[in-house]
Every structure is written in C-alpha cells, then in structure tokens.
Amino acid sequence: MSLPKFIIGMIFALAIVIGWSYFDGASAGTILLRAIVCAVIIQAGYFLLVFAMIGRATPTSADKAREADRGTILNKVAEGEKLSARRSLH
C-alpha cells in the first residue's frame, strides 16, 4: 500500500469515527480521544504491515543484480561489434 492511499484511508476512517462519536452525543474531549486512539491504532497497523513486508522480502545480492544488468547490456550488443572505452552502449 502506498503512503497516499494510506493517508486517504486514514482520513476517511478518522472522519467516520468522529462522525459516529458526534452523532452518538459524545463530548468534544471524548471525540478527540477517540480520534487520537483510532489514529494511533491505524498508524501502528501500517507500521507493522510495512515491517512484515520488508521482513518477507528476499534480499538480492549486488552481484546478482550486476550480472543481470551486464547480461542485458551484452545481449543488446550486435554480433561482431567490439566494445571500447570511448563508445557508449546506448
């Protein structure tokens, strides 16, 4: 989930909690407290989600990435064409 989607979702969730509290007849202090608790819970959940996504990701070594890039570049070079330091690959 991207950050802008999270922020929009959080704003809507807080608006629902504030509206529900207002129509329930809660005082301004209670509405504020409910909104803060809701925001903290949502933020903690987002943090745990991102933390779990990072923890599950398999790291790619720099050597594998470099070899993949090198293979892509070499595949683009025409047969018989020599690479020199002065010539660009693009």
pTM of the model: 0.57
Confidence category of residue 89, pLDDT binned at 50, 70, 90: low
Q: Is the pLDDT of residue 78 over 60?
A: no
pLDDT at residue number 29: 94
DSSP state string for 3-49: HHHHHHHHHHHHHHHHHHHHHTT--HHHHHHHHHHHHHHHHHHHHHH
